[in-house]
Copies of this chain bind each other. A is one copy, B any other.
Amino acid sequence: MSEDTRATVEELYDAYERRDGDRIAALVHDDIDWVIYAPVSVFPFVGPRQGRAAVLQALGAIAEEYTLQSYKREIMIVDGDRAAVMSDVNFTQRATGRTLRFRVANFLRIQDGRVIEFREFVNSFDVVEQALGRELRL
């Protein structure tokens, strides 16, 4: 099972890197349970999403505001139907041209060859500062 999980996860990240929306959509389970842990006040596309349509809408909203520059997988851990991936990512903020660079930690669960559970962690304080282009006042 781990090898099937690994293949699906690698295919998903490969599709994301080449911005292959159709392939991504095909790898997202109808009943996906999805959370990006970051402030909605700054990133309207984060937080919990239920079901494939809501997730594809969130991915579309990210792509509207940010252009993916690079997505380097640094660690991939696979165990049964679960995987965890740590990546070093670069995005450009379309409105300003600002580059955001940060690490991303993902936890995934695969069912029927598709992602049915997804959790994303980032150092959101730092990513907010990069998105705003200034330090937060404490």
Question: Chain A: residues with CB nearer than 8 A to chain B?
Answer: 2, 37-39, 41-42, 75, 77-79, 82-84, 86, 103, 105, 107, 119, 121-126, 128, 132, 136-138
| This chain's copy number in the assembly | 2
Q: Which of B78, B103, B119, B128 contacts A125 (CB 8 A)?
A: B128
B75 x A107 contact (CB < 8 A):
yes
- Which chain B residues lie closer than 8 Å to A123 at the CB level? 37-39, 121-122, 124
Secondary structure type dominating chain A contacts: strand
For the complex of A and B, the 9 pairs showing the least CB-CB separation, nearest first, are A84-B84, A37-B123, A121-B121, A124-B125, A77-B79, A105-B121, A105-B105, A125-B125, A39-B125
